[in-house]
Amino acid sequence: MVDVLLGIDIGTSGIKMAFFRPDGSVVASRRQKVSLYAPGPGLARQDPDEWWHLICQSLKEMVTADFLSMYRIRGIGAAGQGWSMIPVDASGKVLCMNPIWMDTGAADIAAEYEAKIGKDKIFRLCGNPMDGAYTLPKVIKLRREEPVLFEKTAAVLSANGFIAFRLTGVLSQDISQAYGYQCFDIRKGCWDQEMCRQFDLPMHVLPPICSCDAIIGTVTAEAAAATGLPEGIPVAAGGLDAACGTLGAGVIADGETQEQGGQAEGMSICLSSCLAHPRLILSCHVVPGKWLLQGGTVGGGGVTDWLLDAFCGREMADKGGKPYEDLDRLTESVAPGSEGVLFLPYMKGERSPLWNKSAKGVFYGLDFTKTRAHMIRAGLEGVGYSLRHNLETAAEAGAEVSQLLAVGGSTASSVITQMKADITGKRICVPGTAMETGLGAAILAGVGTGLYDSYEKAREMTLHLTRIYEPDPAKREVYNRGYKKYLRLYEELKDMMSEEENEA
């Protein structure tokens, strides 16, 4: 029988699952679309029970008798979107919808506690800003606004922690997701009891912190019946989706960097020392003894999907199973710089490095000579500028990057990937699998069970680069000018954006 590992990826737009051979190749996979609820301004919710239902449905389709006769499942790992807040009671029942990373409904609470405790004191401990999108303000909001529900809360779980709990019945908090709490000591890797008191946070709702490759339990009889998985399979704690994707892309050493072109754009720089920047995101890597300095924006695949819908016609773009074909063709019909058209990709506020929930998407520079192709290219260039903005902010903290390992849906487009290389001035390498996040989660289970004797060995076996994009020096000056105008445009408009948010 062939050994395989199961990797589960709880993303914003969907859930991906795959069984991987030890060399990283995929045996079987499924993807399920996830519902997103927006019950009010700034609110974005998902139902964790829906995640579990979809996972069970997909696994029952994949794990047949024939499958189990050919493959031995050695372990399971899950990757989860960051800043989830999933309260469960003593029986494991989910007590409310999950406010996901895009949810800014706790912004006022974040501002209140930042003023009460002090911005610098919070940052010194956790290496992150006090922002309403993080997990901790959402927990405080639940305690304050839903005291009856909070009283029933046995633990607050991350996205991957919830899936691990459904599989094993064990409550856990992996170290890579703990950065969502400003009471987490990111240098020592533990909860800070005094800071918990200052945040009025009862520590009983915080599960003990464990390493991401820790085997927290095995598949229970109940989970086996629901999924079709054999009982007793080891389950790793798992980790943050960005960190698992970083591992799956082969980023495990100091200075190596993952670029994530998924629903949101992002970058994760691997560090062997704890370097923080107040306008970036710092987490522990899923690889022990490493940190990730991250930039995460709301643009990226979401902006690309919007461009497809708004300017290409989704029914035309999807024809033939090649959603980027029309987008690439129209983009290439316009010269770099979009003939002066600029786009701010802040379609649902903005995270790093602006941290402005009032930020808006903006087109600038239109006239009667401009076409939809100009707007499409400008839209994609705006996403590239947001990536450059995060990379340059990271350099201020001393984190230098020589090349990027790119993952996510946007790598399907050579035009978009080359554009990012030209805008950032960085070489971009694309690994051979489109499921790096699930692979990273599977690698955690592989290390935890001993299938891989080290992360270096896992990378050696699973990393296969397929494409390399070098930045074009001839386009550098055009993009330098565009980037300066991009930064200035936001500075000129940010006060108006805040005024309009207040008026609404």
Residue 357's pLDDT is: 86
Handedness of CA 409, 306, 84, 16 (dihedral sign): negative
The residues of the chain scoring below 50 in pLDDT are none
Residue 300's pLDDT is: 84
Task: Give the architecture-level CATH label for domain 2-241.
Answer: 2-Layer Sandwich (3.30)
Rounded CA separation 108/227 (Å): 41
Task: Give the architecture-level CATH label for domain 301-394+486-503.
Answer: 2-Layer Sandwich (3.30)
Rounded CA separation 385/462 (Å): 31
Residue 502's pLDDT is: 65
Q: Which amino acid is at 225?
A: A
Rounded CA separation 423/446 (Å): 37
pTM of the model: 0.88
Summarize pLDDT for 265-286 with one digit per residue, the tens: 889 999 999 999 999 999 999 9
Summarize pLDDT for 238-261 with one digit per residue, the tens: 999 989 999 999 999 998 999 988
Residue 391's pLDDT is: 96
Summarize pLDDT for 365-420 with one digit per residue, the tens: 999 999 999 999 999 999 999 999 999 999 999 998 988 999 888 888 999 999 99
Residue 6's pLDDT is: 98
Tell me whether strands 155-157 and 239-240 are parallel, antiparallel or unpaired: unpaired
Residue 402's pLDDT is: 81
Residue 366's pLDDT is: 98
Summarize pLDDT for 322-359 with one digit per residue, the tens: 667 888 999 999 999 999 999 999 998 998 999 898 99
Rounded CA separation 344/365 (Å): 12
Domain ranges of the chain: 2-241, 301-394+486-503
For the chain, percent helix, then strand, then coil, each to nearest 5? 45, 20, 35
Residue 315's pLDDT is: 55
Rounded CA separation 306/299 (Å): 10
Residue 84's pLDDT is: 98
- Do residues 428 and 410 make contact, with C-beta atoms less than 8 angstroms apart? no
Reduce the secondary structure of 159-214 to three states and give it as a string: HHHHHHHHHHCCCCEECCCHHHCCCEECCCCEECHHHHHHCCCCHHHCCCEECCCC
| Same CATH fold assignment for domains 2-241 and 301-394+486-503 | yes
